[in-house]
């Protein structure tokens, strides 16, 4: 079982601590850190219409060659990702069962609709066909809106802060099929840069380490 193999691979969380990055979110006025507070004015009804329009191309029909399970969600943030080539699942039993059945790690991405760096990571990585193929092949991918599921956000943010010393959004966490967090961080650039592995490299290294254990 993958849960047992992960526990035998201490190199995985060590790798993740080395490559995760926090300053992108902390230094951005558009993306609060985990210790900040949300501007309630950003949660007004106008935002719902704006982000639904942005996510669906101006109407209620998703216009894209890609359409994943998020297209049926109500969250404006999840709807923004409904046309990503990533095979996103909402948080729920369907995704958990798939991870158990296929014995795969879960990649959990948590963000919110007004987070600047959440949109940057989507544009750079989640809309990238090559990166999406790696995600779909090796992981069960779950997208969560922290404003819709603050309970899920709190649980895994506590883990990220405890293991890396910081937190923020987007939050990126790898879980076992039993929903046990094994490694976590925040924003990752798509490719290696300044001697730091990018998101694609992190995905491949995590997948390879699990296979080799």
- How do residues 45-91 score in pLDDT, each as one tens digit? 434 433 444 444 444 444 467 899 999 999 999 999 999 999 999 99
Give the global pTM.
0.75
In the chain, which ranges are continuous DSSP H helix?
A: 2-7, 11-19, 23-26, 45-56, 76-80, 93-102, 116-121, 129-138, 150-164, 199-212
**CA 199/CA 187 separation, integer angstroms:** 9
Question: Cβ of 203: how many Cβ atoms within 10 Å?
Answer: 21
β-strand 105-111 against 171-175: which pairing, if any?
antiparallel
Q: In what order do the strands lie in the sheet with 181-185?
A: 88-89, 139-145, 105-111, 171-175, 181-185
CA gap 98, 175 in Å, rounded: 13
The DSSP output letter for 71 is G
Using alpha carbons, select from 3, 14, 8 the residue that is nearest to residue 202: 14
Burial string for 98-109 (b: 16+ CB within 10 Å, else e) reads: bbbeeebbbbbb
Per-position DSSP letters for 145-166, written without gaps between them: ETTT-HHHHHHHHHHHHHHHS-
Question: What domains can be seen in the chain, in order of their start residue?
Answer: 69-212 (3.40.30.10)
> Could you list the mean pLDDT of each consecutive 10-residue stretch along the chain, which spans 213 residues?
63 49 35 36 38 42 73 97 98 98 98 97 98 98 98 97 93 97 94 88 92 70
User: In a 3-state reduction of DSSP, which class is residue 28?
Assistant: coil
């Amino acid at each position: 079982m993958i849960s047992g193999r992960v526990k035998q691979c201490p190199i995985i969380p060590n790798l993740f601590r080395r490559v995760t990055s926090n300053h992108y979110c902390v230094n951005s006025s558009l993306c609060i850190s985990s210790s900040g507070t949300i501007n309630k004015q950003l949660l007004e009804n106008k935002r719902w219409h704006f982000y639904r329009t942005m996510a669906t191309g101006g109407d209620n029909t998703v216009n894209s060659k890609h359409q994943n399970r998020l297209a049926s969600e109500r969250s404006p943030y999840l709807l923004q990702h409904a046309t990503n080539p990533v095979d996103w699942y909402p948080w729920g039993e369907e995704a958990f069962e798939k991870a158990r059945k296929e014995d795969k790690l879960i990649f959990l991405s948590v963000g919110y609709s007004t987070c600047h760096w959440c949109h940057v990571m989507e544009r750079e990585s989640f809309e990238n066909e090559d990166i999406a193929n790696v995600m779909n092949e090796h992981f069960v991918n779950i997208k969560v809106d922290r404003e819709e599921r603050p309970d899920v956000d709190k649980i895994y943010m506590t883990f990220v802060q405890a293991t890396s010393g910081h937190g923020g959004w987007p939050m990126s966490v790898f879980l076992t099929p039993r929903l046990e967090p094994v490694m976590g961080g925040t924003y990752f650039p798509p490719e290696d840069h300044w001697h730091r592995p990018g998101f694609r490299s992190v995905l491949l290294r995590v997948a390879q380490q699990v296979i080799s254990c």
